[in-house]
Structure 1
Amino acid sequence: MDSISSSKPRAVEIAVLILWLALAVGLVTSVATLSHAALPVSSTLVYSILAATFAVSAFFVYKISRGRNWARITYLILMLLGMFKTVPSLVSTIEHAPFSGTLSAADVVAQLVAVALLFTGASNGWFERRTP
């Protein structure tokens, strides 16, 4: 494979950057929200689950940046499944905590934009060439 055809498309570079930023914003928002919440279980358990979730997400973003098509598809599926729980709660979150809710809504939109960029024509071709 020559260096020109194997270079990462700009859409993928932007998408990966957006995903890293969305991950960071999501982590900060989650920690800030949880720090003020009355938790029905141990805070250690909640923060452990949060850390594991973000570690898995970071793993997928890393693999996407390395051109792994399975990671791109898996991330898309997991993100869409997560939207079923996230999107309906955004309205009440925005009403009760406008800053945090708006930040969460922007995070969701950013992830949708990033995933859309990962499935554009140039991105599709790059992922298909990168898959062994």
Structure 2
Amino acid sequence: MPKTYTYELTKPRKVNTALNLLYASLGIGVISSGLFPVGLDEVNSFGSALNDSLYTFFIFGLTLLLYYMIGKGKNWARITFLVFFIMGVPLSIVVLPMYLSLSDPPIISGILFLVQTGMDLVALVFLFQGESSAWFKAIKQSNVHMTETNAPID
């Protein structure tokens, strides 16, 4: 009789909270992107408005996929999000003054940007705490053992 393995595969509350924060942050990003009118000079210097829109939709889709995979317990997605966040910190320091200068009133875009960044940071903390890490590990192990033994998880 093949060995069976029992893991706690119920998604921890902190992972659910992190996902809610990430999706809300993404929503804020979509809303705040409408606060920055692109003038003709910006379109001409940075490419066409169509290319900018395609790029935005691509990034939005990639972000949604990453969040979805985090919700499915994929550790690579959690680590990828961490790497993207760390890489974005220096860029954020440069971009914040631009956000403040492009919108009217400027304080709204700055506040939204800081709230979004804060939500992402809190979500990352939740995703890497012990309970969450144990869940990601259990998901990975359950997939490996299911493949190795073909046995159901109790």
TM-score normalised over the length of structure 2 = 0.77
The Cα offsets for residues 20-40 of structure 1, whole Å up to 9 and x where unpaired, read as 01011111212331xx12222
Q: Aligned equivalents of 2:137 and 2:122: distance in 1?
A: 20
Work out whether 1:130 is the aligned partner of 2:133: no
Which of 15, 39, 42 matches 1:12? 15
State the 1:128 CA deviation.
0.6
Work out whether 1:23 is the aligned partner of 2:5: no
- Moved segments of 4+, more than 4 Å: none
Give the aligned residue type for 2:137.
Answer: E
Q: Aligned equivalents of 2:112 and 2:138: distance in 1?
A: 36
State the 1:44 CA deviation.
0.7
Which of 90, 93, 96 matches 2:99? 93
1:118 aligned residue: 127
Corresponding pairs, count: 129
Identity of aligned residues (%): 27
Root-mean-square deviation (Å): 1.7
Give the aligned residue type for 1:16.
Answer: L
Q: Aligned equivalents of 2:52 and 2:60: distance in 1?
A: 12
Q: Aligned equivalents of 1:80 and 1:63: distance in 2?
A: 19
The structure with the larger Rg is 2
**Superposed, which structure 2 residues align to 1:60-79 within 5 Å?**
60-79=66-85
The Cα offsets for residues 28-81 of structure 1, whole Å up to 9 and x where unpaired, read as 212331xx1222221111011011011101100000011000000011101111
Q: Which runs of 5+ in 2 are unaligned?
A: 144-154
Instruction: Decide which structure has greater helix share.
Output: 1
Q: Larger deviation: 77-86 or 6-15?
A: 77-86
TM-score normalised over the length of structure 1 = 0.89
Contact 1:94 1:102 in 2 (8 A): no
SS of corresponding position for 1:6: coil
Give the aligned residue type for 2:38.
Answer: A
The Cα offsets for residues 108-130 of structure 1, whole Å up to 9 and x where unpaired, read as 01000001100001000000111
SS of corresponding position for 2:11: coil
Q: Which runs of 5+ in 1 are unaligned?
A: none
State the 1:92 CA deviation.
5.0
Give the aligned residue type for 2:33.
Answer: S
